[in-house]
């Protein structure tokens, strides 16, 4: 089985001077978000670009990403262009995480222990 690289971070509280790493579509999406969601989104994209830049041997700002969905808006799964590693980005509470896998799809999700413990499993397990 091939490796999966996982990167973790807390959402940034300030990002002055680093937004130029994001592309215009990412900056536009961030500008439209509420502050708490914006912090997690920006951190996720910066973390993703840093991880990919390291893996691909290029500056993070040069990584080409696409997150267009079937409706044409940029809120679908993130893909690396032209054909890079498979990626997954998730955020929950004080954690943002990115996973990279070269050989095929990867999925990453974060949930708090309290949220999982409180979730009813009867409908899932029956």
Tens-level pLDDT at each residue, the chain (126 residues): 688 899 898 888 877 778 889 999 999 999 999 988 899 999 999 999 999 999 999 999 999 998 888 887 878 788 899 888 999 999 888 889 999 998 889 988 887 777 667 766 655 554
Tokens representing residue 31 in the block: 């500008």
Mind giving me the DSSP string for 36-96?
HHHHHHHHHHHHHHHHHHHHHTS-GGG-EEE---TTSSS-S--EEETT--EEEEEEETTEE
């Amino acid at each position: 089985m091939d490796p999966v690289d996982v990167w973790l971070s807390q959402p940034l509280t300030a990002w002055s001077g680093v937004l130029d790493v994001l592309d215009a579509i990412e900056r536009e999406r961030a500008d439209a978000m509420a502050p708490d969601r914006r912090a997690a989104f920006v951190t996720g994209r910066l973390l993703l670009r840093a991880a990919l830049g390291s893996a691909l041997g290029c500056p993070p700002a040069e990584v080409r990403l696409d997150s267009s969905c079937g409706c044409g808006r940029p809120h679908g799964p993130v893909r690396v262009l032209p054909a890079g590693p498979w990626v997954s980005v998730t955020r929950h509470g004080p954690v943002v995480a990115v996973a990279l896998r070269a050989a095929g799809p990867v999925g990453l999700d974060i949930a708090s222990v309290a949220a999982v413990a409180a979730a009813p499993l009867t409908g899932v397990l029956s």
